[in-house]
Chain A
Amino acid sequence: MKALIRLVWEALFLGEAPYAEMRASPKPALRGLGLVALVAAVVALVGLVGTTLEWATSPSLPDIQQVVREGIEQMPWYKEMEGNPQFREQFKQQFDLAWRILPQLFGAPNPASAAMRIVILPLGLALIWLMYGVVAYLCARLLGGQGNLGQTLGCTALAVAPQLLNLATFLPYLVVGGVVGTWTLLCRYVALKTSHRLSWGRALAATLLPYVAFAVVVALFACLGGVVLSLIVGGGTSR
C-alpha cells in the first residue's frame, strides 16, 4: 500500500522513474487496478467531507426554493399573469420540475450523492482507465511500441495521479478546475512513452489517438441516434 502511494505521488511530477518502475513490476495491470481504485476511493471519501461541510454551511434547499418562489411572485410580469389559473398551475409544475433538476446541475451540495461517489468514482475511473489503456496499447503497438498490454495498463494507471489534486476539496468551496484533465493527459503521454519506449512524436500520437477514436465513436453514436430518432418521428407523422 505504502509503495503504491509513493509511486502515484512520484508519478504526479511526470518523471519517468515511477513509470519505468511500474513497467518492470510483476503483474502491473493488477497493481494498476488497485491503484486506480485506491486513489478514486480516497478522493471520493475526502470529497464527501468537503461536500458535507458545504451542505452544513448552506441554507436548506426547500428554504431557498420558498424564497425564490416568493421573489418570483413579487415580480411585475408574474403579477400580470397570476389572474390566469391555468398559468398558475403550469408555472407551479415547471418551477417544481426545474427545482428538482437545476440544483443538482449547478452543484448544490448533496452528501448523499457525494457518498454514492465512493462506489461510482472507483468504478468509473477503472472503466475509463481500462478503455483508454486497451485503445492506447493498440495505437502504441501500431506505432512501433514495445510494451505489452499489462505494462501499458500498469503505466497508464499512474495517470490517475492528478486526481490527488482533488484531495484539496476536503475544504468546501474550493475549486480545483480543469487542471486535472490536462495533467492526466501529460501523465498518459509519459506513461506511453515509458512503457512502449517510443519517441516523443509517436508517444504523442499514441496518447491522442484514443481521444480521437472515442470522439469518432461518440459522433457516430450521436448520428445513429439522430437517424433512429428521425425515423421514429418520421414514421409517427407519416401514419
Chain B
Amino acid sequence: MKELLQLAWDALLFKHTAYTQHVARADALKRGLILLVLVTLLGGVISLIINVVDDLQPMNLEAQRRKTEQAFQGFFRSWEPYLDLPPDFNPDAILALLRPGMETGFRIAQLPTRLPRPVGTLLESLGGFLSLPFGRLAGWLGYAIWVLLIAKLLGGRATVAQMLGATLLYVVPHFLDFLGFVPCLGPVLWVVATVWGIAIYVKAVAVANDFGIERAIAATAIPALAGMVLALLGLLVTLIPILMSSR
C-alpha cells in the first residue's frame, strides 16, 4: 500500500523514474486498476454517506411531493428562456399532467418488500457506489484502445498491459473529486483534476511507448479529434435534410 501511495505521489509530480519503473513491472495493470478503484471509491464516499443517511430517514410523502414539484418548476424556469412558448403557457398545466405519474412512483416506493425496506435502501446505495469504478473503467478502456492503436501506428513499443497500466495513472488527480460536494470549489477541483489527469496520461503514453512527448500528444488527442469530426459529420448528415426540407 505504501508503495502504491508513493507511486501515486510520484505520478502527480511527473517523476520520470516512477513512470519507467511502473511500466517495467509485470503487475503494472493490476497496480493501475487498484489505484483506479481506490481513487474512484474515495471520490464517491461522501455522496454514499449523504445518500444512505437521506434514504434511511422515514419517508415524508408530502415533503417528497413538494420537493419533486419544486425540482420540476426549477428545471422549467432554467429552460424557459430557450423555449419558444406561447404567452399564455401555464407550467402548472404540465405539472397537473405529470402528477398521476409522480403519484404512481411514490406509491410504488411505499409498497412492501420481502426483506425490510432499509436493507434494500442500503444495498441500492452500496450497489450504486461500487458501480462507480466500473463506469470509470469502461470510459477509460474505451478510449485507451484507440490511443493504443494510434500509438502503435506512430511507432510505439508498449505492450497492451504496459500501455493500460501506464495510462491508468491518469486517475490519481481525481482524488480531488472527494471534495466534489463543496459548492463552487467542487467543479473547479474537477477541472483541475481533469487537466492534471490528461497531462499524466500524455506522459504515461510517452514513457510506455518509449517515444517523445509530441507523438504522445498526437496519440492521446487523435482519437478525441476523430470522435469530434465524426460527431460533427453525423450532426451535419442529420441536419442537412431537415434544413433542406424547411426551405
**Min distance, Cβ A155 to any Cβ of chain B, angstroms:** 14
Decide yes or no whether A115 CB sits under 8 A from chain B: no
CB distance A190 to B160 under 8 Å?
A: yes
Is B103 engaged at the interface, CB distance under 8 Å to the other chain?
yes
A56 at the interface (CB under 8 A from B): yes
Given A57-B119, A57-B123, A67-B107: A15 and B130 within 8 A (CB)? no
How many cross-chain pairs have Cβ atoms below 8 Å apart between A and B? 113
A16 and B159 contacting across the interface, CB-CB below 8 Å: yes
Contact assessment for A59 and B152 in the assembled complex, using a CB-CB cutoff below 8 Å: no
Task: Give the chain B neighbours of A13 by CB distance below 8 A.
Answer: 27, 29-30, 161
Establish whether residues B134 and A59, one from each chain, have CB atoms under 8 Å apart when the complex forms: no
Considering the complex, give the chain B residue whose CB is closest to the CB of A69.
Answer: B104
| Cβ-defined contact, A74 with B103, below 8 A | yes
Q: Does B179 contact A (CB under 8 A)?
A: no
* Known contacts A173-B127, A174-B130, A177-B135: A74-B100 contact under CB 8 Å: yes
Contact (Cβ within 8 A) B134 A168: yes
* Residues of chain B contacted by A71 (CB below 8 angstroms): 100-101, 103-104, 107
Q: Report if B235 contacts A (CB, 8 A).
A: no
Contact B115 A67 (CB under 8 A): no
**What is the interface residue range for chain B against chain A?**
35 or more
Chain-B contact segment, one of A100-108, A125-133, A142-150, A179-187: A179-187
Chain B interface mostly: helix
Asked if A76 contacts B97 (CB within 8 A), the reply is yes
Interface size on A, residues (CB 8 A): 43
Q: Give CA–CA (A67, B107) in the complex, Å.
A: 7
Nearest A residue (CB) for B120: A57
Q: Is the C-beta of B48 less than 8 angstroms from some C-beta in chain A?
A: no
**B142 on interface, CB distance cutoff 8 Å:** yes
Cβ contact within 8 Å between A173 and B124: yes
CA distance A68 to B152 in the complex (A): 55
Q: How far is the CA of A186 from the CA of B163 in the complex (A)?
A: 12
Which residues of A from 10 to 67 have beta carbons under 8 Å from B? 13-17, 53-60, 63-64, 67
User: Which B residues are CB-close (under 8 A) to A228?
Assistant: none
Q: Can you list, as one digit per residue, whether each of B133-149 has a CB less than 8 Å from chain A (1) or not (0)?
A: 01101100110010001
Interface centre among A173, A177, A182, A183 (most CB of B within 10 A): A173
B164 and A59 within 8 A (CB):
no
A186 to B160, CA, bound (A): 8
Judge whether A179 and B108 touch: CB under 8 Å: no
With A67-B107, A172-B123, A175-B134 known as contacts, the answer to whether A57 contacts B161 (CB < 8 A) is no
Closest chain A CB from B75 CB (angstroms)? 21
CB distance from B121 to the nearest CB of A (A): 8
Q: Does B225 contact A (CB under 8 A)?
A: no
A174 touches B114 (CB 8 A): no
Q: State how many angstroms separate the Cβ of A112 from the closest Cβ of chain B.
A: 15
The answer to whether B113 and A179 have CB atoms under 8 Å apart is no
The answer to whether residues A189 and B104 also contact, given A13-B29, A67-B111, A182-B138 and a CB cut-off of 8 A, is no
Asked if B131 and A175 make an inter-chain contact with CB atoms under 8 angstroms apart, the answer reads: yes
| Residue contact B134 to A176, C-beta cutoff 8 Å | yes
Tell me the bound Cα distance from A13 to B33 in angstroms. 9
Which residues of chain B have C-beta atoms less than 8 A from A16's C-beta? 159
B130: which of A14, A63, A168 is its contact (CB, 8 Å)?
A168
User: 4 closest Cβ contacts across the A-B interface?
Assistant: A173-B127, A57-B120, A71-B104, A59-B111
A residues near B (Cβ < 8 Å) are 13-17, 53-60, 63-64, 67-68, 70-72, 74-76, 165, 168, 171-179, 182-183, 185-186, 189-190, 200-201, 204
What are 11 A-B residue pairs whose CB atoms fall within 8 Å in the complex? A14-B29, A55-B114, A57-B115, A59-B111, A67-B111, A72-B100, A72-B104, A177-B138, A178-B142, A182-B142, A186-B141
